């Protein structure tokens, strides 16, 4: 085969373009410090690098979540500590009220101070952080507690309306119940409200695809209210421990919404039964705040006012306890006076124990947050190191490589000038 000047020229130009591209690539790498500056440089390695960047950014966001949540927990712990201090003072006052030498004037003074402490407790349980009530649960913009004046005494009241939202249909909105069929049954499930556990009987079958959502909600409301009415036997709405009526409605997107003005309501099944699960009510109240602290790991971090107030079974809660204390302090009845150093004092002690329990849970959550923060930081350090090894250049190595490429390029120019001599045709062009 005859080797022409044109073939030599074309090969030379192709090789020169290759050398120039290599020089340009090395120059870019030295300028940026990165081996890969666009995906086409190495698609597989570029994909790996982007994945590592994504994981590093995610961990940074997780750590930001943890930092914000830790501040929330610090505020919660501090506030619970203040609640504990007020509780200790009330306990001291009750012990003083039981002294034999204390007459009406001394008890009136104690009663006055306890009324002030009730107001302080209300302020503490309405503490806000970052624009939200820390004890408000998912209703973070609503005050969880308040106070009212009852015959000159300050009484604590709960503003929390516990809500259970249960999704029982999938896909398109439908007026018919879309969950698992549930047969009418005596003691079908249990509800717990205000410390009382109550069995609920379902009086009608709930048939999937047939029973209307509105009819199901109405039936559940009637059945639940029947259980509450039984628990309210002998009580009026002015008596401590009275459970107010609940409402059950069907949401347009296929959910039951259960509202309870008296506080947190929870649903549970009897052993071996799945009624609340089938109805989608076993998720409990929607008052838990969750935060993602690492890939696929979430934690609840809030304490609700209901958790603070309700410290025992039945009507053993702070609202009723404080109301009883002020009532007994203003009474001359022997049993009421005796209650101050017995039932009332024990109640305050039990409440204080509950506060300590909640503080310990908050402390455990803080420790978990700190551990997650350390793990995420260590992981980012390791991934950054791997990323550097994968992405960054060795500047010394690249400098030597660049010098070599320059030498090759210059040698190629010099060689071509000798090999490819101009012909008469070049001048004729």
Location of each CATH 1.20.1330.10 domain in the chain:
60-160+293-378
Tokens (6 digits) for 95? 């012990």
Location of each CATH 3.30.70 domain in the chain:
162-286
Q: What is the mean pLDDT of the chain?
A: 81
Contact of 265 with 191, CB cutoff 8 Å = yes
d(CA 338, CA 351): 19
Tokens (6 digits) for 89? 């003072």
List residues bridging with 149 in a β-sheet: 154
d(CA 276, CA 274): 6
Strands 132-133 and 145-150: unpaired
Percent of the chain beyond pLDDT 90? 25
User: pLDDT for 251-269, tens place per residue?
Assistant: 655 667 788 877 778 888 8
Cβ count within 10 A of residue 304 = 26
Query: What's the pLDDT score for residue 163?
Result: 44
Strands 297-300 and 132-133: unpaired
What DSSP string describes 263-313?
S-EEEEPPTT--HHHHHT-TT--S---EEEEETTEEEE----HHHHHB-SS
User: pLDDT for 193-252, tens place per residue?
Assistant: 776 789 999 999 988 888 888 888 899 999 999 999 998 888 887 776 788 888 888 765
User: pLDDT for 365-405, tens place per residue?
Assistant: 999 999 999 999 888 888 888 776 767 666 777 777 777 77
Tokens (6 digits) for 330? 């203003």
CATH class of 60-160+293-378: mainly alpha
Contact of 315 with 326, CB cutoff 8 Å = no
Single pTM value for the model: 0.61
d(CA 417, CA 91): 103
d(CA 229, CA 235): 9
**In the predicted structure, residue 428 carries a pLDDT above the cut 60:** no
What DSSP string describes 28-54?
HHHHH-BS-SSGGG-HHHHHHHHHHHH
List residues bridging with 150 in a β-sheet: 153
Mean pLDDT across the stretch 301-324?
81
d(CA 279, CA 208): 10
Q: How confident is the model at residue 416 (pLDDT cuts 50, 70, 90)?
A: low
Alpha helices in 126-252 (DSSP H): 213-231
d(CA 110, CA 326): 9
Alpha helices in 159-210 (DSSP H): none
Strands 255-260 and 247-251: antiparallel
Mean pLDDT across the stretch 10-33?
72
DSSP 4: -
Top-confidence residue, 65 or 31: 65
Q: Which residues of 15-46 are buried (b: 16+ CB within 10 A; e: fewer)?
A: eeeebeebbeebeebeeeeebbeeeeeeeeeb
CATH class of 162-286: alpha beta
User: pLDDT for 59-109, tens place per residue?
Assistant: 889 999 999 999 999 999 999 999 999 999 999 999 888 776 677 888 889
Tokens (6 digits) for 333? 């009845």
CA nearest to 122, candidates 89, 94, 146: 146
Span between the terminal Cα atoms of the chain, in Å: 26
d(CA 361, CA 369): 12
């Amino acid at each position: 085969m005859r080797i022409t000047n044109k073939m030599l020229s074309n090969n030379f130009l192709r090789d020169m373009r290759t050398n120039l591209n290599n020089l340009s690539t090395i120059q870019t790498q030295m300028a940026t410090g990165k081996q890969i500056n666009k995906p086409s440089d190495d698609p597989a390695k570029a994909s790996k690098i982007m994945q590592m960047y994504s994981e590093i950014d995610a961990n940074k966001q997780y750590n930001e979540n943890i930092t914000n949540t830790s501040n929330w927990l610090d505020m919660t712990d501090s506030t619970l500590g203040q609640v504990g201090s007020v509780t200790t003072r009330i306990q001291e006052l009750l012990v003083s009220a039981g002294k034999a030498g204390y007459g009406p004037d001394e008890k009136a003074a104690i009663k006055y101070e306890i009324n002030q402490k009730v107001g302080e407790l209300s302020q503490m349980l309405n503490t806000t952080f970052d624009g939200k009530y820390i004890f408000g649960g998912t209703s973070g913009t609503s005050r969880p507690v308040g106070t009212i004046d009852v015959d000159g005494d300050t009484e604590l009241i709960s503003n929390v309306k516990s809500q259970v939202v249960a999704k029982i249909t999938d896909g398109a909105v439908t007026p018919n119940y879309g969950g698992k069929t549930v047969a009418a049954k005596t003691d079908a499930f249990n509800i717990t409200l205000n410390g009382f556990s109550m069995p609920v009987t379902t009086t009608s079958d709930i048939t999937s695809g047939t029973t209307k959502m509105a009819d199901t909600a109405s039936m559940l409301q009637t059945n639940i209210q029947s259980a509450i009415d039984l628990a309210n036997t002998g009580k009026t709405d002015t008596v401590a421990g009275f459970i107010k009526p609940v409402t059950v409605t069907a949401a347009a997107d296929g959910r039951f919404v259960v509202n309870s003005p008296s506080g947190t309501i929870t649903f549970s099944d009897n052993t071996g039964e799945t009624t609340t699960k089938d109805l989608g009510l076993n998720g409990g109240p929607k008052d838990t705040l969750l935060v993602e602290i690492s890939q696929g790991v979430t934690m609840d971090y809030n304490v609700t006012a209901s958790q603070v107030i309700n410290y025992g079974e039945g009507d053993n809660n702070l609202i009723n306890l404080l109301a009883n204390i002020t009532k007994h302090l203003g009474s001359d009845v022997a049993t009421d006076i005796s209650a101050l150093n017995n039932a009332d004092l024990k109640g305050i002690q039990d409440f204080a124990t509950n506060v300590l329990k909640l503080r310990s849970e908050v402390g455990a959550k803080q420790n978990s947050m700190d551990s997650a923060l350390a793990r995420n930081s260590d992981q980012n350090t390791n991934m950054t190191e791997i990323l550097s090894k994968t992405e960054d250049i060795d500047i010394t190595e690249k400098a030597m490589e660049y010098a070599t490429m320059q030498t090759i390029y210059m040698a190629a120019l010099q060689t071509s000038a000798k090999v490819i001599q101009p012909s008469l045709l070049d001048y004729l062009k």
